[in-house]
Amino acid sequence: MVECLRPQPLKTIADPACGTGGFFLAAYDWMTDNNDLDKAQKQFLKYNTFFGNEIVAGTRRLALMNLFLHNIGDIDSEEVMVSPNDSLIAASETRYDYVLANPPFGKKSSMTFTNEEGEQEKEDLTYNRQDFWVTTSNKQLNFVQHIKKYAKKLLAKQP
């Protein structure tokens, strides 16, 4: 996907469900291998290119470690490149030049909770966002709707 997208220096890349950061690492490698980056571009690539969300705490820690080990970000930085927040909860004000994503699979989003009898129950989770064209518990459709709003612009239709 990264090779098809051909991301350019000084552009931002987001992944709303980034897992361990694999798309970020592939994009970083592609940009460093295919561009003669100057100092400003290298600085932007390290600190300002990648933004993600990952709601699974252990996976998020792996993503942050992966990025740091590949010279992306800074271990002591106040800026968090991978947010622990559910990216589908609310629209982000920030738009990104590229969105690389492999959203979680599953027919429906759900939440597990313990009822009054102490038993585990699942309840469908429906995201009711004004910027979505349809309200649904279908996880894939919600990610498509979110990605459409997340990107600065979508590719123009080809004739």
Where do the domains of the chain lie? 2-150
Task: Residue count of the chain, please give it.
Answer: 159
Segment 65-79, tens digit of pLDDT: 999 999 999 877 767
- What is the per-residue pLDDT for 158? 42
- Indicate the average pLDDT of the chain: 84
Spans of the chain below 70 pLDDT: 78, 105-115, 119-126, 154-159
Query: Would you list the DSSP string of 136-150?
Result: BSBHHHHHHHHHHHH
Taking the C-alpha atoms of residue 38 and residue 52, their distance in angstroms, rounded to an integer, is: 25
Give whole-number Cα distances, 138 to 55, 71, 88, 142, in Å: 18, 36, 12, 6
Is CATH 3.40.30.10 the classification given to domain 2-150?
no
Distance CA(107)–CA(30), nearest Å, equals 33
Q: Which residues contact 145 (CB under 8 A, 6 or more apart)?
A: 129, 131, 132, 133, 134
Using alpha carbons, select from 63, 48, 70 the residue that is nearest to residue 17: 63
Nearest to 142 by CA among 88, 85, 83: 88
- H-run or E-run covering 3: helix 2-5
36-69 per-position pLDDT tens digit:
999 999 999 999 999 999 999 999 999 999 999 9
For residue 110, is it left (φ>0), alpha (ψ between -120 and 50) or beta?
Answer: beta
